[in-house]
């Protein structure tokens, strides 16, 4: 009780400390005020009673004029109970989720399947979407999986996953290729009263398949769907029917082999590396802390290391980077560099990858005025990965990236945009180096090479951004993109190339 509501210590003295009221004031209170208070009390009682009875009528499905109910318990304007209303509905009271697949009615299942097919065609985040050069030949339903967040009522919340076999024709390469993958989508509002809400969807996992020229959310083998769902929630029933899987490569019921972890660096595809590099860079930019006076100049890919346990049948792929920064914590800015890595634990053969499960390095490197996650050299990164995975098989491809910063960054002449290249240096280049030195000037400006080999080569470097097509470049001309230093360097190198061709003819 607050201080201003406490009873006085001496009630009697407080009551009689004031003079008594005159008789005419007492009469006024008795004959005027009291009747008003009584009448007001009666009015309030009537209002409250009417409100209670009105609410009681609503709950019992009655209306004031004895007509049909204005609303139903459970859903507002529930289409299941009101055939004239086809709008989406809103929950007003708790409903019971289905606890078995057999509880799902034919009408509910049809609604879920129609929604899943429409969602796939929309190409939203659940599938990728598919490139325009990839056409769907078969979208085949193979059965549901029921999972739940909680196992005990009343908090039982189930999710119904619909699972499909997808066969496509891939026209992104030189020749058309048939490919197959499995796709899953979940619905969390399927209820025992026959209602299903398909407005919200969820996915079985964050796994992607990375083919030669494109990626899609999905699985190589249908058994992977249940495994990934079971990581986060409890699987109650799996009614995927393998006999429903149609012919893919000429054999009835054929499927891809179950997922297998990559065993070494050679088993990791370029598309998987590209996806891991992108995920690692995004994580670094969002979560790794640097001093506010330290600015990242470049985040360069060094290579990958793969550790594998035959006993546990699991692998981790570590992507290693060199981070170059400008340290402005000193009186004069200082250029510094260090290495950082991130491990991905769901990297499988034939392109399957889930970047949502990863390991972060637990080592830090200190500079005079600040500290951050990292190690000083690539060799230290290698040693840290080995120490953290004692007894595992180990491979890496760092050696090809340890010949110095010029090779690491993909440049023959990193400063060819601001410094003239001496003629004697140009003449000392091999034919391959001369070709690369010319091409890197175009690559620096984001030129999209028609030659697929060149395009893939430059895609491995973080500084390369695909911005200008050949048609756009030809239309605007070299002068629109190259500065005077670059033009002179190109002229000198093209002159050397032509002289070599003449000498060889």
Q: Is residue 256 part of a domain?
A: no
Q: Is residue 6 part of a domain?
A: no
pLDDT value at position 199? 87
DSSP annotation string for 136-150: EEEEEEEEEEEEES-
Q: Is residue 306 part of a domain?
A: yes
Q: Is residue 122 part of a domain?
A: yes
pLDDT value at position 153? 58
Instruction: Pick the range with the lowest mean pLDDT from 3-17, 20-34, 195-209.
Output: 3-17
* Angle in degrees, CA 456, 286, 373, rounded to 5: 90
* Contact between 238 and 160 (Cβ < 8 Å): no
427 and 295 within one domain: no
Q: Is residue 86 part of a domain?
A: no
Average pLDDT over residues 315-333: 93
352 and 279 within one domain: yes
Local structure of 494: helix, strand or coil: helix
239-269 tens-digit pLDDT? 999 999 888 765 444 566 778 999 999 999 9
For the entire predicted model, the pTM comes to 0.56
* Of the residues 385, 407, 429, the one at which a domain ends: 407
Q: Are strands 90-91 and 189-190 parallel, antiparallel or unpaired?
A: unpaired
Does the pLDDT at position 433 exceed 80?
A: yes
434-443 tens-digit pLDDT? 998 999 999 9
Average pLDDT over residues 174-183: 89
352 exposed, middle or buried (CB, 10 Å; 0-12, 13-18, 19+)? buried
Q: Is residue 128 part of a domain?
A: yes
* Of the residues 390, 407, 424, the one at which a domain ends: 407
325 and 306 within one domain: yes
116 and 35 within one domain: no
Does the pLDDT at position 237 exceed 90?
A: yes
269 and 401 within one domain: yes
303-317 tens-digit pLDDT? 999 999 888 888 999
396 and 269 within one domain: yes
Domain span at residue 222 reads 101-244
Average pLDDT over residues 363-382: 91
445-479 tens-digit pLDDT? 999 999 988 888 888 877 788 999 999 999 999 88
* Of the residues 55, 73, 91, the one at which a domain ends: 73
pLDDT band at 77 (very low <50, low <70, confident <90, very high): very low
Rounded Cα–Cα distance for residues 375 and 357 (Å): 23
54 and 106 within one domain: no
Q: Which residue has the tokens 């190259």?
A: 482
110 and 133 within one domain: yes
495 and 369 within one domain: no
pLDDT value at position 207? 80
Rounded Cα–Cα distance for residues 155 and 122 (Å): 33
- For the chain, what is the mean pLDDT? 78
116 and 240 within one domain: yes
238 and 127 within one domain: yes
Q: Which residue has the tokens 């005079």?
A: 368
- CA distances to 132, 136, 176, 212 from 171, in Å: 9, 11, 5, 11
Average pLDDT over residues 183-202: 91
Instruction: Give me the number of domains the chain comprises.
Output: 4
399 and 476 within one domain: no
């Amino acid at each position: 009780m607050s201080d201003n509501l406490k009873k006085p210590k001496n009630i009697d003295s407080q009551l009689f400390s004031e003079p008594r009221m005159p008789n005419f004031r007492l009469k006024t209170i008795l004959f005027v005020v009291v009747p008003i208070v009584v009448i007001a009390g009666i009015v309030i009682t009537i209002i409250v009673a009417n409100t209670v009875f009105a609410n009681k009528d609503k709950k019992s499905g009655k209306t004031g004029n004895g007509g049909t109910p204005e609303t139903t318990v459970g859903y507002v304007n529930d289409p299941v109970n009101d055939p004239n209303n086809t709008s989406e509905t809103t929950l007003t009271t708790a409903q019971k989720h289905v606890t078995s697949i057999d509880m799902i009615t034919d009408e509910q299942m049809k609604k879920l399947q129609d929604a899943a097919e429409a969602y796939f065609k929309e190409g939203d985040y659940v599938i990728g979407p598919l490139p325009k050069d990839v056409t769907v030949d078969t979208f085949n339903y193979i059965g549901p999986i029921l999972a739940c967040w909680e196992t005990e009522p009343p908090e039982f919340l189930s999710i119904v996953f619909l699972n499909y076999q997808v066969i496509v024709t891939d026209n992104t390469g030189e020749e058309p290729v048939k490919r197959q993958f499995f796709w899953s989508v979940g619905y969390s509002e399927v209820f025992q009263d026959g209602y299903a809400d398909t407005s919200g969807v969820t996915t079985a996992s964050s796994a992607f398949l990375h083919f030669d020229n494109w990626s899609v959310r999905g699985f190589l083998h249908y058994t992977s769907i249940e495994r990934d769902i079971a990581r986060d929630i409890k699987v109650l029933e799996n009614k995927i029917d393998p006999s429903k899987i149609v012919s893919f490569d000429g054999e009835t019921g054929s499927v891809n082999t179950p997922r297998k972890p990559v065993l070494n660096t050679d088993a990791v595809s370029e598309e998987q590396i590209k996806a891991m590099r992108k995920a690692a860079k995004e994580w670094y930019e969002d979560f790794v802390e640097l001093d506010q006076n330290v600015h990242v100049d470049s985040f360069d890919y060094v290579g990958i290391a793969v550790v594998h346990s035959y006993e546990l049948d699991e692998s981790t792929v570590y992507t290693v980077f060199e981070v170059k920064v400008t340290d402005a914590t000193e009186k004069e800015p200082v250029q510094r560099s260090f290495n950082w890595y991130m491990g991905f634990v769901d990297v499988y053969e034939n392109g399957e990858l889930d970047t949502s499960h990863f390991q972060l390095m637990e080592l830090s490197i200190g500079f005079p005025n600040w500290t951050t996650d990292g190690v000083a050299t690539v060799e230290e990164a290698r040693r840290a990965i080995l120490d953290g995975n004692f007894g595992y098989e180990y491979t890496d491809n760092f050696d090809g990236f340890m010949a110095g910063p010029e090779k690491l960054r993909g440049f023959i002449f990193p400063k060819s945009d601001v410094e003239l290249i001496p003629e004697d240096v140009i003449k000392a280049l091999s034919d391959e180096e001369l070709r690369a030195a010319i091409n890197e000037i175009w690559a620096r400006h984001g030129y999209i090479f028609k030659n697929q080999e060149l395009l893939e080569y430059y895609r491995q470097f973080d500084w390369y951004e695909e911005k200008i097509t050949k048609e756009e470049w030809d239309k605007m001309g070299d002068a629109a993109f190259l500065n005077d230093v670059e033009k002179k360097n190109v002229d000198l190198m093209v002159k050397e190339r032509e002289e070599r061709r003449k000498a060889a003819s």
